[in-house]
Amino acid sequence: MSQRSPQLSKAQQCRFQRLSASQPSRQIQSEGGVTELWEESQEQFQCAGVAAMRNTIQPNSLSLPNYHPTPRLVYVERGQGFISVTFPGCAETYDSQQTQMTSESQSQRQDLHQKVHRIRRGDIVAIPAGAAHWCYNDGNEELVAVSVNDLNHQSNQLDQKFRAFYLAGGVPERGQQEQERQTFQNIFQEFDSELMAEAFNIPSETVRKMQSKENRRGLIVNVRERMGFIRPDEEQQQEQEQRGGQSDNGIEESYCTMKIRTNIENRRDTDIYSRQAGKVNVVDRHKLPILKYMDMSAERGRLYQNALLSPHWSVHGHTIVYVTGGDANVQVVNNNGQTMMNDNVNKGNMFVVPQYYTVTFKAGNNGFQWVAFKTTGWPLRNPLAGYTSVIRGMPLQVLTNAYQISPNQAQQIKINRGGESLVLSSGGRSD
Amino acid sequence: MSQRSPQLSKAQQCRFQRLSASQPSRQIQSEGGVTELWEESQEQFQCAGVAAMRNTIQPNSLSLPNYHPTPRLVYVERGQGFISVTFPGCAETYDSQQTQMTSESQSQRQDLHQKVHRIRRGDIVAIPAGAAHWCYNDGNEELVAVSVNDLNHQSNQLDQKFRAFYLAGGVPERGQQEQERQTFQNIFQEFDSELMAEAFNIPSETVRKMQSKENRRGLIVNVRERMGFIRPDEEQQQEQEQRGGQSDNGIEESYCTMKIRTNIENRRDTDIYSRQAGKVNVVDRHKLPILKYMDMSAERGRLYQNALLSPHWSVHGHTIVYVTGGDANVQVVNNNGQTMMNDNVNKGNMFVVPQYYTVTFKAGNNGFQWVAFKTTGWPLRNPLAGYTSVIRGMPLQVLTNAYQISPNQAQQIKINRGGESLVLSSGGRSD
Amino acid sequence: MSQRSPQLSKAQQCRFQRLSASQPSRQIQSEGGVTELWEESQEQFQCAGVAAMRNTIQPNSLSLPNYHPTPRLVYVERGQGFISVTFPGCAETYDSQQTQMTSESQSQRQDLHQKVHRIRRGDIVAIPAGAAHWCYNDGNEELVAVSVNDLNHQSNQLDQKFRAFYLAGGVPERGQQEQERQTFQNIFQEFDSELMAEAFNIPSETVRKMQSKENRRGLIVNVRERMGFIRPDEEQQQEQEQRGGQSDNGIEESYCTMKIRTNIENRRDTDIYSRQAGKVNVVDRHKLPILKYMDMSAERGRLYQNALLSPHWSVHGHTIVYVTGGDANVQVVNNNGQTMMNDNVNKGNMFVVPQYYTVTFKAGNNGFQWVAFKTTGWPLRNPLAGYTSVIRGMPLQVLTNAYQISPNQAQQIKINRGGESLVLSSGGRSD
């Protein structure tokens, strides 16, 4: 009934003076790919309470089953594959899904339990806290996925530190990876093998294989024979329906069958479009209802050559921007009368725009493309310039008196961008 | 789904031993008024997680547009004026409101976008986090408004520190106001003026005016010609209806048109009234539904000469009391067997009663009037004495055994206040 | 709208390496019983944000009225009695309940206000934050009750420290009980007695008795004459109906009449049952709707000789396990590749299993019985072994490639426990 917000400990405060675009600083090399990690202890990530990573899975490789105490939003930057997400408490509903699997291998018996989802470039995938998931690259190119974990979400009653619990594999013992070994571990590894053998009713030899003690191939492994899945055509259709029929009632009932993915590059779903300036697609709790429970959202943006994103502030959460192409000048200011960021950003950079701070982008000559992850399921912006801006909503006299300008100047501030709103074309007014 | 409460860092703990009534300790002098601030770092405000201030706006002056990361509840202590609050994400609905503005000035064109509300003495005004607002004093006396900001509300994902983002003006460079300059700044000030000129499609000269670099008149400015607003009569009526028809469904749909003000001195809305002792009016999420989202509430109380407020504890939030007239002896005790407060308080004093701590007021010879702000939208009290008290709800034998008293004495404890409940008349029983 | 989770200060972090079963380390001896406290500052309790205690009330003794800033879940381990819980803001509804009281004593007049509930062995009792309660042992044996307080629940806006506010009694001045004296105090004690006399309209002499300054019998007192209560037969029935009719709407309306207790040993309500292995009963927000607001739940478990609880992780909250009989080997592992616990636990031990950490129990020769308290109203487990396990939900090829095992071995991992799910029989497969 109460709605208290988090208290941030010293280290997590947002009182820093400088934001900067950064690249992943650590990596875990596995047999079938690589996991790159942004430095979680950077002030900007501490302030936003997020941990970010980029996974590259080689063709015919498997990202091993794991779960984490945080909701995670994933953007598929390149490639295709299959992902399976096991919702807690929903295991017994699998049979009724009648999802079927087949394979070039002859090893299948009646293996009807798994639920797998096709993922491809441009997809946003939602993984709830505590849900075990694995991912297989069945394509011919690398599968690259950028993920943001929201450490402050209330589903995490542990402290603000990223943890991953693997059901197989584990970080190899070689190299300078002490921190990674402590974060990404195989939970079977330390259980007594006799006890596990009894729990599963299997030979101890098999348990020792599950513990991966001798043979650590990392977090992503090569697959010996190609895996294949046949998914019923109904699923796609069903997902469409669920999206429409979602309601506030019957949380738990519908939770188990909720859609976990959507494509953020779907042209029909464009939220803001300007022929001169660019476009923005949002995936929020309306487009993907599971985001209501995860309280996260995502946005895909594209600015054309030299276009601008209107200076604005976000009200319901922090924004974590990942640059997917082009370049831009990014300016962020705070309420201390300081510029927190005034930098050029490029492909592969990530930076945080804290909640309520004002930000603007100006694309370079090659335009600018990005994906933003947000720590709210209900993302709202207040633009300062443009048709829907707060300044356009103010009476002329408020502007003339606030800025000591003439009514004409005030009118220009309000209307000179014409019908343009969030994405603004280069060189001024368009219609 | 989970409902975890905030964790308080060292500085914000409620383990202090002493509460005291305090006056604002800092002030920002502006051209058109003054902003007085209570010391946010005082233990009692840290425990409650609030920042309090009092704004005095001179006649024909304008409090400049600004927003803050916290919900704010405002009590209009004196005067009258207009306030405009721009809800995030609702800008585009302004046109359909058909609110119109007029003015002695000839500068108006088709300026139909703003939504303004008449405010006057006794009003409680709710300003959601991140909503830009401005306020104009169109009356003949000072407009005095006391505000409490709830820093712990979940809408604030930044740390527990008050911040204000101004769209114009800024704290003057003169004097010892370093702390204020860091808290109340003009966000345009540090943006690159060429970039802003392009974003608004206006001359750089106008942007430099918006940045107010040369001419800082503070946070409240004089208005050159009187401003006037015509508000449609329908609004008042519409507000009435909205209050009745509010429901839990359709949050976002109704959010944009929610009522933001109500008068707390409305006699018909009195919640507790005693001819001998005084009265209490509450503005909670039922009377002003937006308080459900802001999770705050307010109370207006009046005790007659020497009357008492029953010793009681509040269950859902902290209470911040602002004294508007008269005087009283206030006692607050904690669970350490200590008196946290046993002081006389007077007009203009503010003090915190932490959640769950027991408090009682005894009015002086001139009675006692106050406004209380609460960090919950659902304020509930447990009185110890009076008709609705927890002690009256206990069996006689529990009292005789708990206190080693006779059944007669126990009966007196239960019934000697007769039908009186929260406000208790002086000198004992009344009916 | 946002759902941010708590931030844990240094002391409350979950980065410790070792869990251990513990006994209460402190105790408060009272005239009519004893209060034993687990050490709140232990890392495991700090991580879970809970304070645990065990109250032993002698026959014909009364646990004095008190309240606390945290929701509390109580398990009645032994004996029987009456409990009264006064919901905040619901006092005035007592009359209409028509609950009546009688007694061997002749002191009763028209004392119709209290609402009392019969409690007995096996009951789970829910006490909301801020609700005053007292408890009377009317049986012939000791009444033993184990309680867990959730300090992190959002209803607590104070800091993470256990506090109890007593309306009578108080910790005696003798002995080394400084910490207890600071936590469990009589709130009347420090109020000015003249002011209290006026508030209740009673003689100062009676107030001094209420303050218990001279005569501290502790927190539980002997009762001079036996107390008796007649409860209307309707209540039981009514409670049944309320449970069925609970809905999300009308929170406050139904809050006052919500059921606060249920028996966790009710055979008809068993959630998981295996003739060979044991059984588990859960009391969650569905079985006891008030737990939705308290966001806590409980579980009663029994494993037969040498049976196992499947290795699993809990997703929505921490688990605090209290051992009621038998013994077991308990293993808990974390994501650092470390065993946090691999101990034998016995009757009277308590330990925490942090959220998301994997745990397994193996009962000893005399079986194993426990009660678990959970910091969520919606407890969900992800078992690793058994019919409903996440591993059974994975395709064979994922297992063969993850563990480098044969399809046959993978199939064994998936199906060797047959239809068994959470409770697993000793020595392997059963059906």
Mean pLDDT by 10 residues, chain B (431 residues): 44 79 94 95 93 98 96 98 87 38 36 74 96 96 98 88 91 70 83 94 94 84 84 48 40 72 88 93 94 95 97 95 98 87 97 96 97 95 91 92 95 92 77 40
C16 pLDDT band (50/70/90 cuts)? confident
Amino acid at A278: G
| Residue B211 phi, psi (nearest 5) | -75, -15
> Which class does domain A10-255 fall in?
mainly beta
A contact chains, 3+ CB pairs < 8 A: B, C
Cα distance between residue C125 and residue C290, in whole Å: 10
Tell me what the pLDDT averaged over chain C comes to.
85
The dihedral built from the CA positions of residue B32, B33, B34 and B35, taken in this order, carries a sign that is negative
Tokens matching residue C190: 């420090």
Torsion-angle region of residue C295: left (phi > 0), alpha (psi -120 to 50) or beta? left
Tokens matching residue C108: 């009763």
Terminal-residue alpha carbon distance, chain C: 47
Residue with tokens 């046959």: C408
**Contact of C320 with C373, CB cutoff 8 Å:** yes
Taking only residues 150 to 209 of chain B, the set having a beta carbon closer than 8 angstroms to any beta carbon of chain C reads 152, 154-155, 157
C-alpha closest to that of C92 among C67, C71, C115, C117: C115
**Contact of A341 with A332, CB cutoff 8 Å:** yes
Numbers of helices and strands, H then E, in chain B: 10, 26
**Contact of C327 with C364, CB cutoff 8 Å:** yes
Quick check: A115 contacting C, CB < 8 Å? yes
C-alpha closest to that of A286 among A378, A422, A148: A378
Is C1 in Cβ contact with B360 (below 8 Å)?
no
Amino acid at A140: N
Q: A interface mutation test: which of B4, B66, B190 has the most A CBs within 10 A?
A: B190
Domain A266-383 grouped into CATH 2.60.120.10 = yes
Residues, chain C: 431
Q: Which residues pair with A230 in a beta bridge?
A: A100
C225 contact residues in B (CB cutoff 8 A): 397
ipTM of the complex in this document: 0.88
Write the residue in A103, A165, A376 that is nearest to C356 by C-beta: A165
**Contact of B313 with B381, CB cutoff 8 Å:** yes
State the DSSP code for B384.
Answer: S
Nearest CA in chain C to A63: C402
Is A157 in Cβ contact with C152 (below 8 Å)?
yes
Q: C202-259, pLDDT tens digit by residue?
A: 999 999 999 987 767 999 999 988 887 755 444 454 444 444 333 344 444 477 788 9
pLDDT in tens, chain A (431 residues): 345 544 444 445 888 888 999 999 999 999 999 999 999 989 999 999 999 999 999 999 999 999 999 999 999 999 999 999 988 777 543 333 333 333 333 333 344 445 789 999 999 999 999 999 999 999 999 999 999 999 989 889 888 889 999 999 988 776 656 777 777 888 898 899 999 999 999 999 999 999 987 767 999 999 988 887 755 444 454 444 444 334 343 444 477 788 999 999 988 888 899 999 999 999 999 999 999 999 999 999 999 999 999 999 999 999 999 999 999 999 999 887 789 999 999 999 999 999 999 999 999 999 999 999 999 999 999 999 998 899 998 999 999 999 999 999 999 999 999 888 899 999 754 44
Cα distance between residue C383 and residue C312, in whole Å: 4
Quick check: C140 contacting A, CB < 8 Å? no
Tokens matching residue B304: 């007659």
CA B273 to chain centre: 23
Q: By three-state DSSP, how is residue A12 classified?
A: helix
Quick check: C136 contacting B, CB < 8 Å? yes
Cα distance between residue B361 and residue B345, in whole Å: 10
Nearest CA in chain B to A332: B191
Residue C92 Cα, gap to closest chain B Cα (Å): 6
Is A8 in Cβ contact with B159 (below 8 Å)?
yes
Residue B83 Cα, gap to closest chain C Cα (Å): 25
Quick check: C112 contacting A, CB < 8 Å? no
Cα distance between residue A70 and residue B17, in whole Å: 38
Quick check: C4 contacting A, CB < 8 Å? yes
> How many other CB atoms are found less than 10 A from the CB of residue C46?
22
Q: Cβ neighbours of residue C128 under 8 Å, at least 6 residues apart?
A: C71, C85, C87, C88, C155, C290, C293, C294
| Residue A182 phi, psi (nearest 5) | -80, -20
Determine the CATH number of domain C266-424.
2.60.120.10
Residue C404 Cα, gap to closest chain B Cα (Å): 39
B378 contact residues in A (CB cutoff 8 A): 1
Q: By three-state DSSP, how is residue B34 classified?
A: strand
Which secondary-structure segment (H or E) carries B190?
none
C-alpha closest to that of C71 among C88, C91, C59: C88
Q: What is the pLDDT of residue A428?
A: 57
Cα distance between residue C289 and residue C257, in whole Å: 11
Q: How far is residue B177 from each of residues B19, C50, C246, C253, measured CA to CA in Å?
A: 27, 43, 56, 50
> How many other CB atoms are found less than 10 A from the CB of residue A78?
16
Is B388 in Cβ contact with C92 (below 8 Å)?
yes
Which secondary-structure segment (H or E) carries C71?
none
Buried-exposed string A221-237: b where 16+ CB fall within 10 A, e elsewhere:
bebeeebbbebeeebee
Write the residue in A311, A355, A429 that is nearest to B158 by C-beta: A355
Write the residue in B251, B356, B392 that is nearest to C158 by C-beta: B356
Quick check: B405 contacting C, CB < 8 Å? yes
**Nearest-5° angle of CA B107, CA B108, CA B112?**
160
A with C: how many residue pairs have Cβ under 8 Å apart?
267
Is C8 in Cβ contact with B405 (below 8 Å)?
no
Quick check: A110 contacting B, CB < 8 Å? no
> How many other CB atoms are found less than 10 A from the CB of residue C146?
24
Q: By three-state DSSP, how is residue C412 classified?
A: helix
Quick check: B315 contacting C, CB < 8 Å? yes
| Residue A418 phi, psi (nearest 5) | 55, -130
Are A10-255 and A266-383 equal in CATH topology?
yes
Nearest CA in chain A to C295: A1
Which secondary-structure segment (H or E) carries A251?
helix A251-255
Q: Where are the domains of chain B?
A: 10-255, 266-424
Which secondary-structure segment (H or E) carries A329?
strand A319-333
Quick check: A315 contacting B, CB < 8 Å? yes
| Strand A184-186 versus strand A164-166 pairing type | parallel
Write the residue in A116, A187, A210 that is nearest to C358 by C-beta: A187
Q: B238-278, pLDDT tens digit by residue?
A: 444 444 334 344 444 477 888 999 999 988 888 899 999 99
In chain C, what are the helix, strand and coil shares in percent, each to the nearest 5?
20, 35, 45
Cα distance between residue C350 and residue A381, in whole Å: 49
Is C362 in Cβ contact with A195 (below 8 Å)?
yes
Cα distance between residue C60 and residue C54, in whole Å: 18
Q: What is the pLDDT of residue B408?
A: 96
Is A196 in Cβ contact with C397 (below 8 Å)?
no
Taking only residues 328 to 367 of chain C, the set having a beta carbon closer than 8 angstroms to any beta carbon of chain A reads 329, 331, 333-339, 342, 354-356, 358, 360, 362
Instruction: Quote the pTM value.
Output: 0.90
Q: By three-state DSSP, how is residue C135 classified?
A: strand
E strand segments, A38-122: 50-57, 61-67, 72-78, 80-86, 100-103, 116-120
Q: C interface mutation test: which of A161, A201, A291 has the most C CBs within 10 A?
A: A201
C-alpha closest to that of A78 among A152, A149, A137: A137
Is C337 in Cβ contact with A170 (below 8 Å)?
yes
**Contact of C412 with A206, CB cutoff 8 Å:** yes
Taking only residues 234 to 263 of chain C, the set having a beta carbon closer than 8 angstroms to any beta carbon of chain A reads 248, 251
